[in-house]
Amino acid sequence: MTTIDTPALSNTITDATAATNAPIIHSNPAQAALYIVATPIGNMGDITSRAIDILNQVDIIACEDTRTSGKLLSNFGISTQTWAYHEHNSEIQTPKIIEMIQRGHSIALISDAGTPLISDPGYQLVQAAHAAGVKLVPVVGASAAIGALSVAGLPSDKFSFVGFLPAKTHGRVKQLEQYAARTETLIFYEAPHRIVASLKDMAAVFGDNRPATLCRELTKTFETVKKATLGELAQFVEADNNQQKGEIVLVVGGDVNHTSDDDSVHDKLLLRLLEDLSVKKAAALASDITGVKKNALYQRLLELQDK
């Protein structure tokens, strides 16, 4: 999701025809496979030692942008040959990369930052690797979505990653309406020039009082982590131009007032609580656990007692 400001790397190959060039053979080569390698989202210290080893050992590194990745690679003294791999050349590069691996070469896929395929190119390549029987190896590391979830202070046992919303207001509102009644935590990416409009649309669709956490420029110098309601966050961001810059993740709480059409969905929990608690206390505790309104659970407990 982000760019990293370090010295540039000169040994890069940026066009689709680069796949015809022979890769550099390393003295300590990696096994022939496609390595999906996570890189830092900002702080260089977040790269793993395994990622550095793999990027040093593979024959080729496929990059979303060779200039951006070149800065990262230069910072760690990695001189492995790079190929451009992005949405505009994936149809050409995908079969070439698969063929190279089938011939015994090792290739790593990295995005501009973070974990590849999370709102970044790579799905077509991974899908083709599976179809061709090519070995795939995840080299895990930084992810803006998971990093934001970890500090959001919102339920993390169940969540959905939505990614980027449509750029136009109509499309954005229409998609938000599809998630309005979802009870799990929602994770969104948003561009800085749309963050104010998106927050206002979220507040309009989800409600001003829906809890949410703004995570901006995670792991960087001017990092922001602010938990509030959607209405409060919209005002906060609109009033401060600095909050309208950089890489942004929004973590939004689910609809705690939503009840399932199936009244029996929480019966097992309710009956267990009823073994040790009064109806009133069981309903209150179940409400804290599930997020369902206490009155609805109280009525369901009364129904269960009558059965």
Is the model more confident about 203 or about 305? Answer: 203
**CA dist 241 → 2, 179, 192, 194, 272 (Å):** 19, 28, 10, 12, 51
**pLDDT in the model for residue 28:** 66
CA 161 to CA 58: how far, in whole Å? 31
Q: Give the tens place of pLDDT for each residue, 257-298.
A: 755 445 567 888 888 888 889 999 988 888 887 777 888 888
CA 255 to CA 177: how far, in whole Å? 12
pTM summary value: 0.76
Contact (Cβ atoms closer than 8 angstroms) between residue 95 and residue 22: no
Query: Residue 140: pLDDT above 50?
Result: yes
Average pLDDT score over residue span 173-197: 95
CA 23 to CA 81: how far, in whole Å? 7
> CATH homologous superfamily of domain 145-252?
Tetrapyrrole methylase, C-terminal domain (3.30.950.10)
**pLDDT in the model for residue 81:** 97
Query: Residue 105: pLDDT above 70?
Result: yes
> CATH homologous superfamily of domain 16-142?
Tetrapyrrole methylase, N-terminal domain (3.40.1010.10)
Nearest to 97 by CA among 84, 80, 113: 84
Q: Taking every pair of C-alpha atoms in the chain, what is the biggest distance, in angstroms?
A: 77
Confidence of residue 25 (pLDDT cuts 50, 70, 90): low
* Least confident among 105-109, 124-128, 276-280: 276-280
Q: Give the tens place of pLDDT for each residue, 53-75.
A: 999 999 999 999 999 999 999 99
Contact (Cβ atoms closer than 8 angstroms) between residue 80 and residue 61: yes
* Least confident among 104-113, 190-199, 253-262, 276-285: 253-262
3-state secondary structure of 153: coil
**pLDDT in the model for residue 261:** 47
End-to-end CA separation in angstroms for the chain: 55
CA 62 to CA 52: how far, in whole Å? 15
Contact (Cβ atoms closer than 8 angstroms) between residue 14 and residue 73: no
**pLDDT in the model for residue 69:** 96
**pLDDT in the model for residue 178:** 93
Average pLDDT score over residue span 218-222: 97
